Structure 1
Amino acid sequence: MTQGNEHWLVSVGRVLTGRGKQSVKASQVDPDDPAITKMTISLALDLLNEGRSHERFSPKDNVSWKWGMKNKAVPLDSQTAVVLQVRETPITDKTQSPSSTYYAEPLDVLVGMYTHEGIFRELWIDGRRLCLVTDHRKRGPNSSSHDK
């Protein structure tokens, strides 16, 4: 059974992992909007200027994605994960091709979390994309002051 040229299981996988087609709301955003440019620069500088993970995190810390930095299916946007291990020297996945968004990504924080299926999962993540759950960078730029 296929939908277009795509097998139906691939479509189900995209829905479950949140990698479906771009939303209508996202397609209406003007990439030349000064606010979008400012946010892009802000996120890039945050990645570049972040301290080393082994100095910021320790095992048993509760972490979450920084706003706008999520690049994996789990943990979910607002889900808390637990730091299990932090490497001083990051590892890189040699199986990724140079065209992959994960190519040469420095993976230095091992986090654990329960998936929506109820399975405890461990995953290596680039620690620059994570923050403590108490960090203000967890929230988006449009969040109100009462969320903090």
Structure 2
Amino acid sequence: MPKNTDRLSSHDWLVRIGLDEDGQNDLLLEDEPLDNLTGDPSSALRERFQQWQQRHRFAPGDLVVWKPGLMNKRYPRATQPAVVLEVLDQPVFDSERDAGSPYFREPLDLVLGLFVDEGPNRGDFLNWHYDSRRFQPWQPD
């Protein structure tokens, strides 16, 4: 049977859509990585837990950014502020059905607006739902 040379390997597909090792779509590119993943991670885990537990009261019009190490979506970028459009009294839950996904039953209680900085929608003001536990007030440098 002749080999179909038009077929791409999974690696080739990832390269084409920008999700390979050299791609620019890595969610953690701008995040603060852990310094040492080979030693005892207990102090880093406790630090992330403390950040996770620290709650902030947000109101429409507040500017927010990701807490260090808690970014789980591509937008906003790690240091890009977003404006709070709405704080939901009752969160909506991500509809991801796979319990192995980091989005499985994530409570989305914060609606943020931001400018998209790339692609065909560059410059557009869009909004998305997020888990408020992952955000902190934005402080200008």
Category of TM-score, reference length = shorter chain = 0.7 to 0.9
Taking structure 2 as the reference length, the TM-score comes to 0.73
Are 2:25 and 1:17 aligned?
yes
Gap runs ≥5 in structure 1: 136-146
More helix by share: 1
1:60-75 to 2 correspondences below 5 Å: 60-75=61-76
Matched residues, number: 126
Alignment partner of 1:38 is 2:40: no
Distance 2:39 2:14 in 1: 37
Cα distance between partner residues in 2 of 1:69 and 1:2: 38
Per the alignment, residue 104 of structure 1 pairs with: 105
Structure 2 gaps of 5+ residues are 1-5
1:5 to 1:13, Cα distance in 2 relative to 1, 3 A: closer
Please give the alpha-carbon distance, in whole angstroms, between the structure 2 residues aligned to 1:97 and 1:76: 25
Structure 1 residues 77-111: Cα deviation after superposition (integer angstroms, max 9, x where no partner): 11000000001221102243211110011110000
Residues 3/131 of structure 1: CA separation in 2 closer, same or farther (3 Å cut)? farther
Residue 31 of structure 1 aligns with an amino acid whose one-letter code is L
Please say which structure displays the higher CA radius of gyration: 2
Give RMSD over aligned pairs. Answer: 3.0
- Moved beyond 6 Å, runs of 4+: none
| Residue equivalent to 2:130 | 125
**1:120 Cα offset (Å):** 1.8
Matched AA of 2:101: S
